[in-house]
Structures are given as C-alpha cells and as structure tokens.
C-alpha cells in the first residue's frame, strides 16, 4: 500500500492503477494456486515458504531503495510509455506474488466459507471466493491510488513530494525489516 501511495504521488494515478492491475494478477495467481491445491504444498514445505518470504522481503527493500532515489524529471513531466507501464505492472505483480502471506490468506480464510455439501466443487467455490477477495482488494488499492493522487495535487512543491515519497520508502524499509526480524526470530 505504501508502494502504491508513493508511486501515485510520483507518477500519477495511471501509474498507480497499472500497479493495482499487477497486484490483482498476483492475487489471482495465489487464488488459482489455492483452488488447484498448490497452497497446501507451500504450507507443508517450509523451505518453499521461507524462499517466498525472503524473496518478498528483498523485493520490499528494493522498492524502498528505488523510492528513495531522486527523480530526474518533475511529476508533471514524466509521461508513461509502454515499457514503463509494463514495468509498473510487473512490479505490482511481483510485490504480491512473492508475498507468502497472501497465499496463506487464501489458504486459511477462504476455506472457512466453503460449503462442502454444495453441488459446486470446492475448487469452483475457492475460485469464486478468490475473485471476490481480489475485487475487494482492488477497490481498496484503487482508493489508495486516488487518495495519494488527490493529496499530491495539494502538494505543488516537488521537493515536498519527494520528501513524502522518501518517507513512504522508509515505511517500506521498516516493514521489510520487521518481516525479516519475524522470519529470523521464527515467527509466521
């Protein structure tokens, strides 16, 4: 969410919405994996879970580092070109697909809403519930993009916008540090 806010402040709402689409694809990937039973594999193989966790932590640190870097052009003069748009999409995707907590959410929360006596298969029910979760998450993420863009319009000074973006990068770095500490201390 901090990444979406920083991105929207810096690049505008279109960039934020492109990243939201990537995040939604990451969530959809997890939903499909859980519906197909792969979530249980991740849950039952601690090494795979830890690999995903550390990849996610590393990626958060990368996003924090990237957000801290100075921007060469002012906010209003940075058009989105096809390559940049694709990059933003894949960054959103990677930030979510490397988040093992996301797949564990689908694995632990969604099954509690499954009706085992339904005529619909469990996989179908998981897929539908996963889509509902993705729609809700995308609405929340889009709200963050809009709120960040609106607050960015009030901040006309590029230096102030950079300070806010760098503050959000510090938040990302602190989150990654906390996740690393939890991983090292043996927490889930």
Of 27 and 45, the structure prediction assigns the larger pLDDT to: 27
Q: How confident is the model at residue 75 (pLDDT cuts 50, 70, 90)?
A: very low
Answer with the residue of higher pLDDT: 153 or 136.
136
Per-residue confidence (pLDDT) for residue 76, from 0 to 100: 47
Q: What is the pLDDT of residues 11-33, one digit of tens each?
A: 889 999 999 999 999 999 988 88
| Helix (H), strand (E) at residue 186 | none
CA 96 to chain centre: 4
Query: pTM for the complete prediction?
Result: 0.69
Q: How confident is the model at residue 142, as a pLDDT?
A: 95
Distance CA 76, CA 72 (A): 12
Contact indicator for 67, 139 with CB cutoff of 8 Å = no
Where do the H-state alpha helices sit in 120-188? 122-154, 158-184
Is residue 65 within 8 A of residue 169, CB to CB? The reply is yes
d(CA 21, CA 27): 10
Give me the residue spans of the domains in the chain.
Answer: 2-184
Contacts of 119 (CB under 8 A, 6+ apart): none
What pLDDT digit, counting tens, does each position of 151-182 carry? Answer: 776 666 667 767 777 887 888 788 888 878 88
Percent of the chain residues past pLDDT 70, beyond the cut: 85
């Amino acid at each position: 969410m901090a990444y979406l806010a920083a991105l929207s402040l810096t690049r505008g709402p279109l960039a934020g919405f492109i990243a939201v689409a990537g995040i939604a694809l990451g969530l959809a990937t997890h939903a499909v994996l859980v519906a197909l039973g792969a979530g249980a594999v991740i849950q039952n193989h601690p090494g795979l879970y830890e690999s995903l966790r550390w990849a996610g932590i590393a990626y958060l640190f990368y996003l924090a580092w990237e957000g801290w870097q100075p921007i060469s052009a002012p906010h209003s003069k940075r058009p989105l070109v096809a390559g940049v748009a694709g990059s933003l999409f894949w960054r959103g995707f990677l930030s979510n697909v490397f988040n093992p907590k996301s797949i564990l959410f689908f694995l632990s929360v969604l099954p509690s809403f499954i009706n085992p006596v339904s005529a619909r298969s469990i996989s179908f029910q998981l897929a539908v519930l996963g889509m509902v979760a993705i729609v809700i998450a995308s609405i929340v993420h889009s709200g963050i993009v809009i709120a960040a863009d609106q607050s960015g319009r009030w901040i006309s000074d590029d230096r102030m916008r950079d300070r806010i973006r760098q503050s959000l990068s510090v938040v990302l770095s602190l989150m990654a540090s906390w996740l690393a500490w939890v991983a090292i201390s043996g927490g889930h």
